[in-house]
Amino acid sequence: MADFHLHRVNETRWQIPRDERRGMRTHVVIYASDALMEHIRKDLSLEQGINVATLPGIVGPSLAMPDIHQGYGFPIGGVAATDMDYGVVSPGGVGFDINCGVRLVRTSLAEADVRPRLRDLINQIFRDVPCGTGGAGFVKIDREGLKRLLVDGARWMVRNGYGFARDAEFAEAGGALEGADPDAVSDRAKERGQPQLGTLGSGNHFLEVQFVDEVHDEEAARTLGLSKDQVVVLIHSGSRGLGHQVCTDYVAEMNKVMKKYNITLPDRQLACAPIRSEEGQRYLGAMAAAANFAWANRQGITHFLRGAFRRIFDDDTRLELVYDVCHNIAKRETHEVEGRKHAVLVHRKGATRAFPPGHREIPGDYREVGQPVFIPGSMGTASWVLTGAEGAMRETFGSVCHGAGRLLSRTAVRKGKDARQEQKKLEEAGILVRSETRDGILEELPEAYKNVDEVIEVVHQAGLARKVARLRPMGVIKG
Amino acid sequence: MEREEAFEVLEHPADVGFRAFGETLAELFENSALALLSIRAEMDRVEAREEYAVEAEATDLEALLVNWLNEILYLVDARAIALRRVRVDAIEDTHVRSTGIGEPFDSSRHRLRVIVKAVTWHQLKIVHTNESWVAEVFLDV
């Protein structure tokens, strides 16, 4: 039996009250339906939500989104804000894939244009968008250029011919976080990341050609340039080896210095240091640099993607960025807490920023409808376009879920299955899949994930975000 | 105690872990490296043609294992090396010196299973009983 009290607050909210015996400094709030809670209770995600509630300087509750599942240290699908003056920063609370995120690219093509040439298109994208498992470089860049890219993010890519100015403008934070410190990024991290710039990676990363299946909010969809049957491309990737190494370096460092700051935690992966400490500041500088690398990385992928579309369709085919959001990040933001403005560091670990209409950080074209949010589902089901809503600002530090959430472990889902057969089954359902690795298909099968529609229903009902459109996959590239 | 297997794979809802065994600390480390390498890539066609030095330090044994495995991961990921195994040359609680055995990655012969992002500190455990060592480690994939 789990050693905590979980009670239901209303249709979409649950709570675990603060328990001092467990070192909790605050309570835990979970957004979930009955059905989703049944899944959530099966793994350690609630325990991990409690661990997050022990972090020094946590402001407001430890928050869990409906797609929450067990991570390492922090749960995936968790949000925690810490006080800028006396709170901590935890590299594990951001994760090894710093600024893992998704971007949606809209095309000037309709499903009927693409369907007859889908196989050629998917094969072309598979050739042109590298997964990055081989170690060769794809974006021409030297060490000096990399240092500049770590400060300028997507803008460096645009300046060097890998995109258009609009691409950077329509990314969260303009495609470059302020405060990046390339010198806080180790040489090893730079060496590991440089040849991987512009590559997809593996695991749950993917590139999906999809079409708009349902429009739920006509006005918002029009504002985002989306309409029924239009073909779009969803790209899910992060900061590759550069970000992984930054996190590795700083979790190790913080494990060394925690004693100095009198911090003890229930799991070493939660290792943290005061935001104001030298270690905290260096990490934040390195994290911002890695986040910028991730935006540049997704920009590189977008560039290669455009090339692939042009080879299959004519030169007039337009591919425009709708928006780009990160879901593994810690950001300095100001939020209202108990009626007062509070400067906090919002850790989003598998959670997406979802600012409501009118927020000044949303590009002018979209400001009236709210910040676009993209929620990828599994490769056989659906993905969603949402916009941020006021509830997120009131309750979740402007955050919402990031995916469907895993249901089955990698070993459990592949048991007794054959990659080629599964690929055929998906093909019969109208979804072509190409993968660099066999495991890439088997471990990411649709049954490994919760039902994304159920997750979306909860955040929509809870008023954290609004449904705009549902997207269905036609072709998937996996690492 | 005679054990046939070097390690077993542990289930995790999102990621993957392993439990490695060894009669000595050196063997425990070697088998942990083997677990990491074989979760990451198919190894049967990797040839033992070159040697690569891998060294790590830490303030305690658990941290040493994580730091050392992350050193190996850095070598295979950043330098694009395919390794068959890692031999421990000298080990104490806070320092390990070792040699990776393999060759440069060649996509025509070598295949990755999954990119391992990092070796985590989550539920990290090393247990020493009278006759053997056991370690549990989770990976972020």
pLDDT value at position A378?
87
User: Which of these, A456, A427, A455, lies nearest to A441 by C-alpha position?
Assistant: A427
Q: Are A29 and A61 in contact (CB under 8 A)?
A: yes
What does DSSP assign to residue B103?
Answer: E
The residue among A52, A111, A56 whose CA lies nearest residue A86 is A56
pLDDT of residue B15: 81
The answer, yes or no, to whether residue B112 has pLDDT greater than 90, is: no
Residues whose CB falls within 8 Å of the CB of residue A42, separated by 6 or more in sequence, listed in order: none
The answer, yes or no, to whether residue B53 has pLDDT greater than 70, is: yes
A152 to A144, A180, B108: CA distances (angstroms): 13, 9, 36
Which pTM was predicted?
A: 0.95
Whether B59 has its CB under 8 Å from any CB of chain A: the answer is yes
Distance CA A59, CA A37 (A): 25
Which of A97, A267, A439 lies closest to B122 in CB terms?
Answer: A267
pLDDT category at B92 given cuts 50, 70, 90 is very high
How many helices (H) does chain B have, and how many strands (E)? Answer: 2, 10
CB contact under 8 A, B119 and A248: yes
For chain B positions 60-99, those within 8 Å of chain A (CB to CB) are 62-63, 66-67, 70, 74, 77-80
Q: Tokens 């959670």, residue? A: A351
Q: Which residues in chain B have their CB less than 8 angstroms from residue A192's CB? A: 74, 77-78
**B63 to A252: CB separation less than 8 angstroms, yes or no:** yes
- At residue A400, the pLDDT reads 98
Cα dihedral across residues A216, A220, A224, A226: positive or negative: positive
Using N-to-C axis directions, what is the helix angle for A278-312 and A143-152, rounded to 10°? 100
- Cβ of B122 within 8 Å of Cβ of A72? The answer is yes
Predicted pLDDT of residue B1: 46
C-beta separation of A293 from A145 below 8 A = no
Separation CA A91–CA A245 (nearest Å) = 11
Burial class, A175, CB count within 10 angstroms (exposed 0-12 / middle 13-18 / buried 19+)? buried
Q: What angle do CA A477, A449, B117 make, to 5 degrees?
A: 60
* DSSP-derived 3-state class of residue A172: helix
Decide if A445 contacts A417 (C-beta within 8 A).
Answer: yes
The pLDDT assigned to B111 comes to: 87
- DSSP class of residue A131 equals -
- Minimum distance, in Å, between the CA of residue B123 and any CA atom of chain A: 7
* Opening angle at CA A147, ends A281 and A327, nearest 5: 60
Mean pLDDT by 10 residues, chain A (479 residues): 86 97 96 95 93 95 96 92 96 95 98 97 94 75 96 98 96 96 97 93 91 98 98 97 96 92 88 96 98 98 97 94 97 94 96 97 97 93 97 97 88 86 91 83 86 96 98 93
Closest to A73 (Cβ–Cβ): which among B62, B80, B122? Answer: B122
Encoded tokens for A422: 């599964």
Is B53's Cβ below 8 Å from some Cβ in A?
A: no
Please report which helix (H) or strand (E) contains residue B35, including its range: helix B25-40
Over its C-alpha atoms, chain A yields an Rg (Å, rounded) of: 21
Is there a contact between A135 and B80 if contact means CB atoms under 8 Å apart?
A: yes
Q: From residue A351, how far is each of A78, A295, A329, A375 by CA, in Å?
A: 6, 17, 9, 10
Q: Using an 8 Å CB-CB cutoff, list chain A residues near B138.
A: 72
What number of C-beta contacts closer than 8 Å exist between A and B? 121
The percent of chain A in helix, strand and coil, each rounded to the nearest 5, is 40, 25, 35
CA nearest to A256 within chain B: B59
Burial of A167 (0-12, 13-18, 19+ CB in 10 A): buried
Find the closest chain B residue to A98 by CA distance: B117
DSSP A44: S
DSSP codes joined into one string, A141-156: --HHHHHHHHHHTHHH
- Number of Cβ within 10 Å of residue A88's Cβ equals 28
Closest-CA distance of chain B to residue A407, Å: 7
Q: CB–CB of B72/B53 below 8 Å?
A: no
Q: Which two tokens stand for residue A85?
A: 């003056």
Q: Which residue of B has its CA nearest to A243?
A: B117
Give burial (CB, 10 Å; 0-12/13-18/19+) of A324: buried
Confirm whether A5 is a catalytic residue.
no
Closest-CA residue of chain B to A202: B115
User: Is the distance from CB of A206 to CB of A200 less than 8 angstroms?
Assistant: yes
Q: Which of A249, A210, A323, A228 is nearest to A91 (CA)?
A: A249
Beta bridge partners of B92: B95
Q: Which of residues 108-137 of B touch A (CB under 8 A)?
A: 111-115, 117-124
Cβ distance B140 to A96 less than 8 Å, yes or no, reads yes
Distance from CA of A130 to the nearest CA of B (A): 13
- Give me the DSSP letters along A268-328: GGG--EETTSHHHHHHHHHHHHHHHHHHHHHHHHHHHHHHHHHHHS-TT--EEEEEEEESE
Per DSSP, A178 falls in state T
Q: Are A170 and A321 in contact (CB under 8 A)?
A: yes
Cβ atoms within 10 Å of A165's Cβ, excluding its own: 11
Residue with tokens 């080896």: A241
DSSP, res A97 = S
Closest CB to B115 among A201, A247, A248: A201
Chain B contact for A247 (CB, 8 A cutoff): yes
Residues of B in contact with A45 (CB under 8 A): 13
The predicted pLDDT at position A136 comes to 66
Residues from chain B that touch A436, judged by Cβ atoms under 8 A, are 112
Q: What is the Cα–Cα distance from B55 to B18, expressed in whole angstroms?
A: 22
CB atoms within 10 A of CB A16: 24
Distance CA A32, CA A37 (A): 6
Whole-number average pLDDT of chain A: 94
